[in-house]
Amino acid sequence: MTEPRWIRVTALENIPAREGRSVLIGDREIAIFNLGDRILAADNRCPHQGGPLCDGIVTGTSVVCPLHAWKVSLCSGRVERPGASERCVRTYPARIDEGIVLVAVPAMAVETGPGHAESFNTVAIEA
C-alpha cells in the first residue's frame, strides 16, 4: 500500500476560522476547514447531489451543505442528517506546520507527469 503524500496548500491565515475553502490537488477537489483549533479536510462534494461543502455552514466538527442542508461529519465523512445513510465523503489527514496548511492525499493522486499535481509544491486556495 502506498503512503499518503503531504501537500502544502496555503497559509492558515487564508482560511478564516469556522469557514471552508476549496482546493484542487491533482484530480481531487478538497474542502479544507479551519475549526479554530484544528484543520479538517474532506472531498468538496456532498454525497446527496454534489453541493460544494466548502460553502456550507460549519457547526462543531460538521458542515451543513448549502444546497439541501445535509449535515456531514468532517471527522468521519459520514452523513449525520437526514437520518441514517450509508453515503459519506472521503476525509483526509490535515495539519498545520509553521503556519502552512498541509493535506495528505493518496500518492497516486499526485503522481508525476503531465497534468499531475507533482508539477507544483503549493496549491492555491480558491477565493
Q: What is the pLDDT of residues 49-91, one digit of tens each?
A: 999 999 999 999 999 999 999 999 999 999 999 876 788 999 9
Mean pLDDT within 32-44: 97
Is the predicted pLDDT of residue 43 greater than 80, yes or no?
Answer: yes
Cβ count within 10 A of residue 10: 19
Q: Could you tell me the CATH superfamily of domain 4-119?
A: Rieske [2Fe-2S] iron-sulphur domain (2.102.10.10)
State the pLDDT at residue 109: 60
Q: How far apart are CA 53 and CA 33, in angstroms?
A: 10
Q: Is the pTM of this model over 0.85?
A: no
The answer to whether the CB of 31 falls within 8 A of the CB of 21 is yes
- Which pLDDT does position 29 carry in this prediction? 97
Please compute the mean of the pLDDT values over residues 102-116 and round it to a whole number: 67
